[in-house]
Amino acid sequence: MMKKKFFLHLLAALLITLVLIWIVLSMLANYTRHGEVYIVPDFSGQNHELVLSQYGDQFNFIISDSLFKQGAPQGSVLQQEPPPGSKVKRDRNIYLITVSKQPEKVRMPNLVNLSLREALVTLESAGLEVSNISLTEHFARNAIVAQRYRGMPLEPGTMIFRGIAIDLVVGDGGDMKEVAFPMIYGKKPHEVRQMLHALTLNVGKETFLVPQDSSFSRVIKVEPYVQSGRMVSPGTSFNLIYQSPERIDFSKFLRDSLYIERVDSFNLETFEEENL
C-alpha cells in the first residue's frame, strides 16, 4: 500500500514537473517569439519614410547616417544593415543610411604641381570628381597647372560641395604626345573613368541601356569608336554606352567583338536576343 502511494505521488510529481516545464518553455518561446522569423527586404532606393511606414511594425529602424549622392533621390535608402535576405526576429534593429538633402562641404585641395595620378587620388579622397582634363604648354608632363570649376579658377581651401566635378589643366611636357587607348570594353563605370582620366582622356556622355543597373553595367560601345591600343590625342572625349551584365554575356561578347574590325558594326540587338 505504501509503495502504491509512493509511486502515485512520484507520478503526480513528474506530471506536475512536465506541466511546469511546458508552461515555462511556452512562455519563453512567446517572449522570444521563437520561430517568428522575417526575411529582410531590399530597401535600396526606396524613400526611408515609406519604408518606416510599411515595415515599422516588423522592424525597429535606426537612421545611422545620412550621406549625399549626386543623382540619388533625397531621403532614399543608400545602405542597410543587416543586408537584404537576412533572417531576423521581429523588432530587430535595421540600420539605414539615407541620402541627405544637401551634400556636405569640403575644402578644395591644392592640386597644382601634383602629378595627374596624385591629383586623381587626392580628389577621390576628398569626395570630388573630374569633369574635364585639358592640356597646355608646360615643361612638366602630366603635372597639374591649374584647377578650375565651371571654367573659373578654384583656389585651394575654398569650401565646396562634396561630389562636384573639377576641371584640370595638365602640362604637356613640351609636346603633345598621343596615348594608347585602353581596353575598356566590359568595364564598370568607375573603372572606365579611372582608366581614361589616368591617360588624360575625358568621359563624355554616358548612356545606360538599363538605368536601374547603372552601378553594375559595363561598357559595350564607345563613340567615336577606337580600337584598344590605337593612339589618340590627350584631352579627347569619348561617349560611353553601358549594358547590364544580366542582359548580355560579356565574356562571349568580348570574344566575338575583339576579332571584328569595328564594334560599331556589330549587331548588338541580335547578339542580345541570341544570348538572353
Domain count, the chain: 3
Considering only CA atoms, which of 55, 92, 56, 95 is closest in space to residue 77? Answer: 95
Phi, psi of 47 (to 5 degrees): -65, 130
Banded pLDDT at 261 (limits 50, 70, 90): very low
Residue pLDDT, tens place only, 50-82? 999 999 989 999 998 887 776 788 889 988 988
By residue count, the chain amounts to 276
- Within-domain flag for 21: no
Domain ranges, residue 93: 37-99
* Same domain flag for 158 and 202: no
* Same domain flag for 203 and 152: no
State the pTM of this model: 0.63
The answer, yes or no, to whether residue 178 has pLDDT greater than 70, is yes
* Same domain flag for 186 and 165: no
Coil vs helix vs strand at 226: coil
- Within-domain flag for 84: yes
